[in-house]
């Protein structure tokens, strides 16, 4: 068992112990709430609603912390309460049955949690993205030493660790010691015209572990392609080729996602239950944020920018349905999925909740594995649909409109937190000449190359967008202008050293950039204008450089 698995189980045990310790107080509040209903001059409807809310909360949380029988009994009581007329005192028969239910709940609580139950949480592995930066190891096997090093230099700029081998023997020795994440192999070597495929074919571990193999060759004949396929080749590219195409193939074969973890906002007044849901989703690689006070929802939405809202339907002071209606009044959140997590089983009530702003229901209590899977499906579908609206089709970066929305939120957060924010505008130098000389398809590859470099090198908290044409924008939160310039300078040098090709011609391209910052410019348009002016200064200074806003 790994340390992370042990830590996860310890957190879960701690949650269960905390819940068990708090349970007597919860039951005391329920008992007092029940007695308050029968006080003289009591607002029966209001107090019955509060009593039902407390029972609903118990039914939804108990099963997640080892009290599954208690949770089921509370759920039965909740359903019985749903049959009552809320503005009328329960009759003697209903009162008797509710008292019996409360006694059974108390007895089940005194028996303690069912620690013998297995927990789904133990089976959830931490998502690889949370285990720190990992560079995929790529072996390049090519007898032309200069070309081999050239390939290595290019793809290293996109975040790969590369080992190069110019002989079959050296590659064989390396494979014996360590299996790479992927291999790029020339088809022809001095040992034979199909020596590359033979090398791959003789090492069964490469095939058993589905290691992606990319073959490259000057030849485009049937025999070479067939040999590559029979050796387990995943791709075949002909020389000369554009290096961004090779990087694209590696990214796709290794399933490297150019996307951030899912962001889930959890709205539940029961803190310990919300923390449990957060723990489950975090173990699956999602970023979570908890709101226990619905009155703070709009502020938290603006700062956290969730891709899905997981919300209890019954909360003190406001229902989840009303909270959803408030959320839907803001255009920015019209399409964010709202998933209710509730013990509510009545179809009419569920349909009404969906009509008024919700998107789906998950039934409490819910298994941890089921919760994680359901959330992944729903937020994944939302992200796929929203990508069509907010992403640039060529690069996959945010588009111009979405960039402005992101920048507006980043400025507001920077001002609130009194933290620095830098904003950069980038423009590819002499891009019209690239299009005129090599054609627009090659120009598109150059744009994609810069987009990929920015995605690979910047932090997940940074926001990269295609502003339009050959122009890009970068939002750098918590970054002062001096640091931003250092980051952009390294990116400028790396991009200027990236080689592009068209037919047998190789060429390089550079970019210029301008940087402005908050708090010097606290207005959206003022910040954009300042960065744009700085970009103009960089162009005027001779291009291939970084200029700072001086206003």
- Looking from the CA of 531 toward its CB, the CA atoms found within 13 Å total 31
Is the pLDDT reported for residue 1 higher than 90?
A: no
Fold of the 137-253 domain: Rossmann fold (3.40.50)
CB atoms within 10 A of CB 275: 18
Tokens read off for 431: 């891009």
Is the pLDDT reported for residue 356 higher than 70?
A: no
Measured distance CA(60)–CA(343) in Å, rounded: 6
Is the pLDDT reported for residue 131 higher than 70?
A: no
CATH of the domain spanning 3-117: 1.20.120
Interval 153-157 mean pLDDT: 77
Q: What's the whole-model pTM score?
A: 0.51
Q: Where in the chain is the domain with CATH 3.40.50.2300?
A: 137-253, 263-390
Residue predicted with more confidence, 63 or 145: 145
Strands (E), 203-333: 213-217, 235-238, 263-267, 287-291, 308-312, 314-315, 318-319
Enumerate residues 6+ apart whose C-beta is below 8 A from 513: 424, 425, 426, 427, 488, 492, 534, 535, 538, 546, 547
Q: Where in the chain is the domain with CATH 1.20.120?
A: 3-117
Residue 119 has a pLDDT of: 35
**Residue 133: pLDDT band with limits 50, 70, 90:** very low
Is the pLDDT reported for residue 122 higher than 50?
A: no
Q: What is the mean pLDDT of the chain?
A: 82
Helix 400-417 crosses helix 297-304 at what angle (to 10 degrees)?
Answer: 120
Enumerate residues 6+ apart whose C-beta is below 8 A from 93: none
Q: Where in the chain is the domain with CATH 3.30.70.270?
A: 400-548
Residue 291 has a pLDDT of: 92
CB atoms within 10 A of CB 142: 25
Residue 129 has a pLDDT of: 29
Residue 374 has a pLDDT of: 87
Is the pLDDT reported for residue 289 higher than 90?
A: yes
Residue 457 has a pLDDT of: 82
Question: Which of 79-88, 117-126, 178-187 bottoms out in mean pLDDT, i.e. has the lowest?
Answer: 117-126
Please write the tens of the pLDDT for every residue from 385-427: 776 677 887 888 889 888 998 898 899 889 988 999 999 999 9
Please write the tens of the pLDDT for every residue from 15-35: 678 878 888 998 999 999 999
Q: Is the peptide bond between 240 and the residue preceding it cis, with omega within 30 degrees of 0?
A: yes
**Residue 238: pLDDT band with limits 50, 70, 90:** confident
Fold of the 263-390 domain: Rossmann fold (3.40.50)
Residue 334 has a pLDDT of: 79
CATH class of 400-548: alpha beta
Residue 348 has a pLDDT of: 66
């Amino acid at each position: 068992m790994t340390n992370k698995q042990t830590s996860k189980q310890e957190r879960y045990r701690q949650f269960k112990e905390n819940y068990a310790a708090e349970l007597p107080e919860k039951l005391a509040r329920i008992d007092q709430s029940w007695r308050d209903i029968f006080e003289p001059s009591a607002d029966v409807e209001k107090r019955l609603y509060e009593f039902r809310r407390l029972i609903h909360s118990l039914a939804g949380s108990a099963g997640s912390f080892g009290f599954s029988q208690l949770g089921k009994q509370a759920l039965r009581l909740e359903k019985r309460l749903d049959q009552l007329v809320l503005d009328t005192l329960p009759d003697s028969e209903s009162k008797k049955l509710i008292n019996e239910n409360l006694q059974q709940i108390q007895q089940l609580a005194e028996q303690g949690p069912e620690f013998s139950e297995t927990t789904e949480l133990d089976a959830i592995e931490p998502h690889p993205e949370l285990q720190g930066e990992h560079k995929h190891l790529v072996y390049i096997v090519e007898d032309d030493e200069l070309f081999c090093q050239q390939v290595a230099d290019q793809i290293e700029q996109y975040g790969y660790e590369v080992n190069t081998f110019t002989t079959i023997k050296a590659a064989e020795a390396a494979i014996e010691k360590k299996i790479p994440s992927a291999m790029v192999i020339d088809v022809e070597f001095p040992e034979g015209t199909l020596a590359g495929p033979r090398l791959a074919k003789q090492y069964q571990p490469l095939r058993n572990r589905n290691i992606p193999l990319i073959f490259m060759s000057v030849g485009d004949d049937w025999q070479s392609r067939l040999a590559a396929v029979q050796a387990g080749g995943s791709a075949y590219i002909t020389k000369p080729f554009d290096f961004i195409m090779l990087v694209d193939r590696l990214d796709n074969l290794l399933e490297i996602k150019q996307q951030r973890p899912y962001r889930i906002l959890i709205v539940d007044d029961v803190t310990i239950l919300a923390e449990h849901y957060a723990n489950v989703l975090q173990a699956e690689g999602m970023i979570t944020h908890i709101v226990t006070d619905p009155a703070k929802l709009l502020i938290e939405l603006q700062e956290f920018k969730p891709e899905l809202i997981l919300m209890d339907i019954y909360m003190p002071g406001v229902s989840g349905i009303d909270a959803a209606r408030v959320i839907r009044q803001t255009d920015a959140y019209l399409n964010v999925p709202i998933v209710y997590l509730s013990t509510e089983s009545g179809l009419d009530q569920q349909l009404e909740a969906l009509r008024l702003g919700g998107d789906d229901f998950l039934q409490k209590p819910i298994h941890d594995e089921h919760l994680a899977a359901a959330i992944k499906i729903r937020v994944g579908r939302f992200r796929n649909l929203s990508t069509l609206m907010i992403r640039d089709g060529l690069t996959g970066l945010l588009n111009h409109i979405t960039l402005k929305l992101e920048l507006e939120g980043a400025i507001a957060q920077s001002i609130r937190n009194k933290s620095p924010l830098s904003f950069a505008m980038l423009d590819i130098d002499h891009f019209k000449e690239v299009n005129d000389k090599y054609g627009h398809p090659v120009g598109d590859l150059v744009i994609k190359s810069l987009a990929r470099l920015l995605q690979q090198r910047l932090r997940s908290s940074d926001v990269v967008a295609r502003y339009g044409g050959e122009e890009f924008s970068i939002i750098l939160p918590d970054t002062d202008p001096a640091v931003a310039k250092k980051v952009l300078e390294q990116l400028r040098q790396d991009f200027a050293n990236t080689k592009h090709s068209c037919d047998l011609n190789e060429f390089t391209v550079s970019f210029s950039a301008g940087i402005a910052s908050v708090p010097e410019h606290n207005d959206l348009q003022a910040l954009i204008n300042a960065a744009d002016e700085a970009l103009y200064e960089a162009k005027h200074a001779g291009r291939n450089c970084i200029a700072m806003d001086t206003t």
